[in-house]
Amino acid sequence: MATLRSVSDHPNDAVPSASPPASQTDYMADDQYREAVVDLLGALAYGELTAFERLADDATFAPTIADKAALARMAVAEYHHFELLRDRLKELGAAPELAMEPFTEALHSFHERTAPGDWLEGLVKAYVGDGIAEDFYREVSAYVDTSTRALVLQVLEDTGHSQFAVDRVLAAITEDPRLAGRLALWGRRLVGEALSQAQRVAAERDALSTLLVGGVDRPGADLAEVGRMFARLTENHTRRMSALGLTS
Amino acid sequence: MATLRSVSDHPNDAVPSASPPASQTDYMADDQYREAVVDLLGALAYGELTAFERLADDATFAPTIADKAALARMAVAEYHHFELLRDRLKELGAAPELAMEPFTEALHSFHERTAPGDWLEGLVKAYVGDGIAEDFYREVSAYVDTSTRALVLQVLEDTGHSQFAVDRVLAAITEDPRLAGRLALWGRRLVGEALSQAQRVAAERDALSTLLVGGVDRPGADLAEVGRMFARLTENHTRRMSALGLTS
């Protein structure tokens, strides 16, 4: 994996979030950094576009018109996030479609392997799957310039689907406790598939990986920090599963 | 059918579009008229919500990221139309979900019976199916107060999918002329299913039917005008099929 190789090439002991690049303009002159940011925004943009599709698709499963309209509203919010990312890619002089292209296969594979079988599986996927992806992007955002970070944090803002999913899943489990076993298994499968696709992307996209672990003149995370990051991701995942009334 | 019964109850020879109700306020005092407008807006609102779902679903079939993003944009436009209709229903003191409820089954049946098998069938459905529905609503809008009519015409505005569908379908047929036969058959099936569901709605919703054919104190279309309306709908359908390079 590019991640580990780069760590040993450029060891760095600085606390990473304390020393992110100062400004977008300075850092965009560095071709490798610019490429990494285009990768990051491209991955996020395609993620938002597929989140739009998936929420819209979940809407077709919705048991009531009100739930359908609520999911459609969240899907629309994801689309507007996609637009922000697409516009920023254009500002950076990148072709949005080319920037998204490297991530289509991994995201497509993930969604194909985790197509929800019903309304509740769709909700758990939206909450648990998107939750882990959002945490990861939030961690990465500590290593980019302030302007890129502001955009990333903006598009990661919860569009309301977390509380919606928690409410609906908790209510369903309260009514039929036997659901908990199946949905807990589903949650574990989602994480497994997400990690396997993330690993694939990390191995293929060197520029993106060096965002996290640093470049020649840029600080990144050391191995211990990468370890702590994974611990945080796991903790948050466990917390989300508990919020749904599920064991992780 | 309620339509024909009402025509014979309240014959009216006025040219209908020349004498629509004067203002929303006057006419909303008439319970039957208000009920009819709530039906009309409810049917349209649920139509927009399902159009959103369907375009988002078509986006998953899109052969390129650019096409996917274009369809997502159109789906979002339909959702915003849904919001306008929902808000007007609330202004009229109607519960949007109750207003939409009577039309869910007919729309669901229509979409279930006409689930596109591929990208091109989805495009033909969006253009030909929505086209005939839009023409019908535009005809009905001649019989409502100016404020309701303005809203109906606003939400019927083309979100850009017509030209998009024509371009893509024509290009596909030029490349593989054998597609024309299958897609023409598909177009005929869409119209057949649309008419059958429309008939079902007309039979069940007396208030909505009397919008077209008039009420005790309100002019509507006479039988000859209803005939001319169907002629116009058919002509427009033929024109749309030709635009796609298909025989109707």
B112-148: per-residue pLDDT in tens? 899 999 999 999 998 998 888 888 899 889 889 999 9
Determine, for residues B76 and A73 on separate chains, whether the beta-carbon distance falls below 8 Å. Answer: no
> Using beta carbons and an 8 Å cutoff, which residues of A are at the interface with B?
46, 49, 52-53, 56-57, 59-60, 64-66, 68-69, 72-73, 75-76, 79-80, 82, 86, 96-97, 100-101, 104
Q: Report DSSP state, residue B177.
A: T
For residue A36, pLDDT beyond 80: yes
- CA B197 vs CA A5, B92, B105, B135: distances in Å: 62, 27, 9, 16
Higher local confidence (pLDDT), B17 or B247: B247
Distance (Å) from the alpha carbon of A77 to chain B's nearest alpha carbon: 9
Give the list of residues 6+ apart from residue A233 with CB closer than 8 angstroms, or none: A132, A135, A136, A139
E strands, chain B, in order? none
For residue A198, pLDDT beyond 60: yes
- From chain A, pick out residues whose CB is under 8 angstroms from the CB of B57: 53, 56-57, 60
Higher local confidence (pLDDT), A23 or B132: B132
Residue B11 binned pLDDT confidence (cut-offs 50, 70, 90): very low
For residue B155, pLDDT beyond 90: yes
Closest by alpha carbon to A155, among A87, A216, A64? A87
Higher local confidence (pLDDT), B214 or A78: A78
Q: So what's the pLDDT on residue B203?
A: 80
Residue B2 binned pLDDT confidence (cut-offs 50, 70, 90): very low
Q: What is the pTM of this model?
A: 0.79
Distance of CA A117 to the CA centre of its chain: 22
The DSSP bridge partners found for residue A218 are A215
SS3 per-residue string spanning A67-88: HHHHHHHHHHHHHHHHHHHHHH
Specify whether the CB–CB gap between A111 and A46 falls below 8 A: no
Residue B47 binned pLDDT confidence (cut-offs 50, 70, 90): very high
Mean residue pLDDT of chain A comes to 84
Determine, for residues B97 and A46 on separate chains, whether the beta-carbon distance falls below 8 Å. Answer: no
Of B56, B96, B104, which is closest to A53 when you measure between CB atoms?
Answer: B56
Residues of chain A with pLDDT > 70, as a percent, come to: 88
Closest by alpha carbon to A20, among A8, A38, A37, A6? A37
Q: So what's the pLDDT on residue A97?
A: 96
3-state class (DSSP) for residue A218: strand
Most confident range, picked from A170-179, A217-226, B154-163, B213-222: A170-179
Distance (Å) from the alpha carbon of A132 to chain B's nearest alpha carbon: 23
Higher local confidence (pLDDT), A110 or B198: A110
Give the list of residues 6+ apart from residue B156 with CB closer than 8 angstroms, or none: B134, B137, B138, B141
The residue of B52, B61, B110, B111 whose CB has the most chain A CBs within 10 angstroms, and thus the best one to mutate to test that interface, is: B52
- From chain B, pick out residues whose CB is under 8 angstroms from the CB of A51: none
Q: So what's the pLDDT on residue A25?
A: 59
Range from A54-58, B7-11, B226-230, B237-241 carrying the lowest mean pLDDT: B7-11
Of B59, B72, B79, which is closest to A72 when you measure between CB atoms?
Answer: B79
> Using beta carbons and an 8 Å cutoff, which residues of B are at the interface with A?
46, 49, 52-53, 56-57, 59-60, 64-66, 68-69, 72-73, 75-76, 79-80, 82, 86, 96-97, 100-101, 104
- CA A32 vs CA A1, A21, A40, A205, A216: distances in Å: 18, 13, 12, 12, 10
Phi, psi (deg, nearest 5) at residue B222: -85, 175
> What is the mean predicted confidence (pLDDT) over B51-68?
91
For residue B23, pLDDT beyond 70: no
Of B56, B64, B104, which is closest to A56 when you measure between CB atoms?
Answer: B56
